[in-house]
Chain A
Amino acid sequence: MPAVSKGDGMRGLAVFISDIRNCKSKEAEIKRINKELANIRSKFKGDKALDGYSKKKYVCKLLFIFLLGHDIDFGHMEAVNLLSSNKYTEKQIGYLFISVLVNSNSELIRLINNAIKNDLSSRNPTFMCLALHCIANVGSREMAEAFAGEIPRILVAGDTMDSVKQSAALCLLRLYKTSPDLVLMGEWTSRVVHLLNDQHMGVVTAAISLITCLSQKNPDEFKTCVSLAVSRLSRIVSSASTDLQDYTYYFVPAPWLSCKLLRLLQCYPPPEDGAVKGRLVECLETILNKAQEPPKSKKVQHSNAKNAILFEAISLIIHYDSEPNLLVRACNQLGQFLQHRETNLRYLALESMCTLASSEFSHEAVKTHIETVINALKTERDVSVRQRAADLLYAMCDRSNAKQIVAEMLSYLETADYSIREEMVLKVAILAEKYAVDYSWYVDTILNLIRIAGDYVSEEVWYRVIQIVINRDDVQGYAAKTVFEALQAPACHENMVKVGGYILGEFGNLIAGDPRSSPLVQFNLLHSKFHLCSVPTRALLLSAYIKFINLFPETKSTIQEVLRSDSQIRNSDVELQQRAVEYLKLSSIASTDVLATVLEEMPPFPERESSILAKLKKKKGPGAVSVNELEEGKREGGELNGGGERGGDSSSTPSPSADLLGLRAGPPVTAAAPSAGSLLVDVFSEAVKQPSPTAFLRLFVCKNNGVLFENQLLQIGIKSEYRQNLGRMYLFYGNKTSVQFVTFTTTVTCPGELQSHILHIHTWNSLEPLIEGGAQVQQVINIECLTDFSDAPLLNIKFRYGGALQNLTLKLPVTINKFFQPTEMASHDFFQRWKQLSLPQQEAQKIFKANHAMDTEVLKAKLLGLGMALLENVDPNPENFVCAGVIQTKAQQVGSLLRLEPNAQAQMYRLTVRSSKDTVSKRLCELLAEQF
């Protein structure tokens, strides 16, 4: 144990800490802690009033125990008592405890706020700072309510001490981040901006963080900060290294402040005032020049501080994207860093160059560094640096270097770190497609991908290669040949079998002339893999076999033999069994003509944006997507592409060729045969034409994907996913003409009170204002359901087509049922809950005439599409349907139960909905009554 503890020693605390450190085992530690907790508890409860010192010591011990990772459920009151002590040291420990262990117990918050209020008005700067630190550390809404009005006053008052101003500025920033609605700058705005001119560098350093945050949200009100920031920056940049005394850090003048100034400027476009702009460009040039000067110190701190400013300046240059000269200089500077001996600099240079690659002014300059970057990918010892190199290669790729980059990335994949393989695979797949001039190269690349990193090839990737092969007849023979060769390998990845099965099933005839790949050889090759594959792949292979029977009648008996074997026709998996039975039957009873029609070659897919790109974007999406969500996204990737696209075709014979990729083991009820075009689940493949822009809402109640709107010029497809109270909607705008759409803009609004019920945020890909003829662009909207709602958000689209302004307003199909979570429950529970929701206003009922055929399977599919759980064996009458689900809104969860009673004779339905909220019952009833 060290002999000294600084300041006032609390010997009891030090002894306790030593004891804990001397514990040989976790058990001993817990024992010691429990003993101490019991001791403290008895002291706090004891009759004898504790003096301030003891109270402080015990509170400090509790804090220590908490920081070790144990729960603390008492002592808060004692800590609050310390706040009103007039001894600084006791007050300080009290505040520390509150800051670390804040408890939203309202009684205590009131007491804490009282103590803070006293300290804030004490006019003792040390006490005021303590109180402000506490507010900044806790940052709760209650504190914002109590102090957001007072702090701006303290911040700008003429007689406030500098140190208090500093704390007040950052305290306000924290409150603004948690409760922006409560922090109103209003009259203070200009005085806060002028803190940038303050003489005290510490005050400027603290205030600028606040100003930056406020500027991001209200750029117009704060725009006067630009010229102030430029002149401040200019003074720092041109000052000698010793001018700023203690604000000089290892010979670099005010590095933190410089970075923050450059960061603030990134909230704004380049200054309009010529003089200000000139001064700023001069600063940026000086910063770039200084990078070339010999270092003033060998210490890494010197170069880090200097380069921190340099990188921030480069970010600003990239942000402006308007000064070709500076952009190229920035690129050259980063180029030097690419070969620097400091790993940190190499990492940052790669990262920063990625953004430079997307600027038209510097794209070519970035490309000149390709060899260095490839070398980095091969030789860097740190995976995070290699990751940056891979990102940069992706960003700098264009038609001129695609083959080289793809080849390098492929060879890197063989040894790549597991954590980045999936992303690498997506990137290779995208580049290969985007820059493919000859499609045999594309096919080779994707098959190589599967060979090298099959486990990381997601469904989107192999769906896409099939889609492209089907659409391009010039590559089909090559694809068949290559995949046939690839399948020769004794161990080949299951994804290869999938692609092989599909491609040979469609185009095996193109290579059947060669005796080495005769139909039977092809079949035997595929079938040799069959037993090693999972159920979905086997199902796909069975479909390939029936196609073989059509393509090559000579294989019929062999294949029928296989289908007839017990392991197929009596397979315990329903899907496999059903396919075997149906295909066997189809092959034996259908005439050649019928067979040929049913198993006709797949029609080409409509062109549209690659689903892989969407997946990568999703993976790299910004913001609050946590790792967990990404992983979930990965798992659900398949569903995204496959779910919900079942057509309404209720013919009772499933069409085998169409069902090829409908492999998802959904319950048979939902697996009504999809229309042939939906193989790859093209959001545009459904030939549903919208009768009128507003009538579509009805069509999307029970499904998430489809065509939202279509006219002569424009087609809008929609794809959406919902989880909990959040949704993400992908809108695809397709230009059906051969002429550009210009000034293409879209706005989403929530009319009236809907604004407070739904929150939508546009995200990453803000639309380009231009859509080329025949092209498609994608937009993503994030939706958050705050509370239940009945109206729908409006989507307004404006663009010019051949000079004429087109203006279109549609309702977005966001309905309350999208936020359903299905709830499974037993019959008993269902009726119990049903009874609990017995208030008259909780129930909504409608009796209406059937608009569609009363087909049980269709009804089930629709109810499932609604998002609730369809409960079997609950209603005593098997004709009736009952469902249960919970609507997830941010404000609350609304449990809902539903019962639908069809009356086939009368062709009528009775629909009853009960939920814990009356508006929800009513809305659900309205929505659903139009569905049947």
Chain B
Amino acid sequence: MQFMLLFSRQGKLRLQKWYVPLSDKEKKKITRELVQTVLARKPKMCSFLEWRDLKIVYKRYASLYFCCAIEDQDNELITLEIIHRYVELLDKYFGSVCELDIIFNFEKAYFILDEFLLGGEAQETSKKNVLKAIEQADLLQEDAKEAETPRSVLEEIGLT
């Protein structure tokens, strides 16, 4: 896989993951073009399309589009299920995930993705194992938090 993009129905990019080195300018150009192309497609159209020399596999979940670019010899259907498994992971972690969860916890969305896919290839396809890894990390965070000194009142209400 060369990259994965998550964007909303309004065309707002929610998550981007690039597995090939590209300049920021190229990334922006690709994103713009692709978001436009995918949003222009009607529901019920097929989930695959040729784009430049890549194959695009996308699927819409509620207000979010998940869109992957794969290479010529890659398998479209299994990529579609990569997307689904990622959605399942997010759903399980956040508990019925919605777009807002991904906006406000974007870093978590990245961490989960890194446990599931690395370098554009499936690293661990077992839902249980991926979530175990993430939860372990969260536990480490909890421990760390307890040890922290209490934060100032200003900080608590978000003014800094």
Contacts and interface: CB of A to CB of B under 8 A. Distances in A.
Interface of A: 1-2, 5-8, 11-12, 14-17, 21, 39, 51, 53-54, 60, 63-64, 67, 69, 71, 87-90, 92-93, 96, 100, 126, 129, 132-133, 136-137, 139-140, 163, 166-167, 170-171, 173-174, 177-178, 201-202, 205-206, 209, 246-247, 249, 254-257, 259-260, 263, 266, 301, 304-305, 307-308, 311-312, 315, 343-344, 346-348, 381-382, 384-385, 387, 622-627
Interface in B81-109: 81-82, 84-85, 93-94, 100-101, 103-108
A247 B128 CA distance: 9
Interface in B124-155: 124-129, 133, 136-138, 140-142, 144-145, 148-149, 151, 155
Contacts of A54: 160
Nearest to A248: B126
A185 B136 CA distance: 33
B123 A311 contact: no
Nearest to A170: B118
B88 to A, nearest CB: 9
Contacts of A1: 100, 104
Interface residues of B, number: 72
Nearest to B132: A163
Contacts, number: 212
Contact of B125 (A67, A140, A256): A256
Contacts of A305: 77-78, 81
13 contacts: A12-B155, A92-B111, A96-B107, A126-B137, A137-B114, A170-B121, A173-B119, A178-B21, A201-B125, A255-B78, A256-B125, A308-B76, A347-B46
A96 B48 contact: no
A126 B112 CA distance: 14
B91 to A, nearest CB: 13
Nearest to A173: B119
A578 B96 CA distance: 77
Interface in B46-60: 46-50, 52-53
A54 B149 CA distance: 12
Contacts of A93: 107
A63 B137 contact: no
B126 A202 contact: yes
Nearest to A8: B141
Contact of A308 (B41, B77, B111): B77
B121 to A, nearest CB: 4
B100 A348 contact: no
A96 B76 contact: no
Contacts of B78: 255-256, 259, 304-305, 308, 312
A644 B15 CA distance: 50
A338 to B, nearest CB: 13
B53 to A, nearest CB: 6
A257 B82 CA distance: 12
B133 A167 contact: no
Contacts of A246: 126-129
Which 6 pairs from chain A and chain B are nearest by CB?
Answer: A15-B158, A308-B77, A174-B119, A209-B121, A308-B78, A170-B118
Nearest to A134: B114
Contact of A64 (B44, B72, B106): B106
A174 B103 CA distance: 28
Nearest to B28: A69
B124 A166 contact: yes
A69 B105 contact: no
A344 B45 CA distance: 8
Nearest to B143: A88
A173 B50 contact: no
B104 A139 contact: no
Contacts of A14: 104, 158
A311 B73 CA distance: 11
A735 to B, nearest CB: 33
Nearest to B78: A308
B61 interface: no
Interface in B26-83: 28, 41-42, 44-50, 52-53, 72-73, 75-78, 80-82
A92 B119 contact: no
A143 B94 CA distance: 34
Contact of A92 (B28, B53, B137, B142): B137
Nearest to B133: A163
B144 A249 contact: no
A171 B118 contact: yes
Contacts of A137: 114, 119
A385 B93 CA distance: 36
A133 B110 CA distance: 11
A927 B80 CA distance: 56
A263 B47 CA distance: 22
Given A6-B94, A178-B21, A344-B76, A384 B48 contact: yes
A149 to B, nearest CB: 18
Contacts of A171: 118-119
A15 B72 CA distance: 43
B141 to A, nearest CB: 4
A21 B103 contact: yes
A5 B110 contact: no
Contacts of B85: 249
A177 B125 CA distance: 22
Nearest to A387: B50
A195 to B, nearest CB: 13
Given A53-B148, A89-B140, A67 B106 contact: yes
Given A126-B136, A174-B19, A623 B53 contact: yes
A907 to B, nearest CB: 54
A49 to B, nearest CB: 14
B46 A259 contact: no
Given A126-B140, A202-B129, A343 B44 contact: yes
Interface centre among B24, B78, B106, B140 (most CB of A within 10 A): B78
Given A167-B118, A308-B80, 5 more contacts: A174-B19, A177-B119, A315-B73, A347-B46, A348-B77
A427 B155 CA distance: 67
A346 B46 contact: yes
A12 to B, nearest CB: 5
Contacts of B42: 381-382
A838 B94 CA distance: 69
Nearest to A87: B144
Contact of A384 (B50, B52, B125, B142): B50
B101 A202 contact: no
A205 B122 CA distance: 7
Given A67-B16, A308-B75, A308-B77, A170 B160 contact: no
B125 A257 contact: yes
B45 A259 contact: no
A255 B104 contact: no
Contacts of A71: 24
A132 B106 CA distance: 21
A137 B3 CA distance: 11
B123 A304 contact: no
A249 B141 contact: no
A88 B148 CA distance: 13
Contacts of B93: 6
A206 B121 contact: yes
Contacts of A96: 107, 110-111
Contacts of B45: 343, 381-382, 384
A245 B148 CA distance: 40
B81 A301 contact: yes
B76 A170 contact: no
Contacts of B53: 622-626
A87 B149 CA distance: 14
Contacts of A311: 75-77
B79 to A, nearest CB: 8
Contacts of A63: 106-107
A197 B77 CA distance: 26
Contacts of A87: 144
B108 A263 contact: no
Contacts of A312: 75, 78
Nearest to A163: B133
Given A11-B156, A69-B28, A163-B133, A139 B144 contact: no
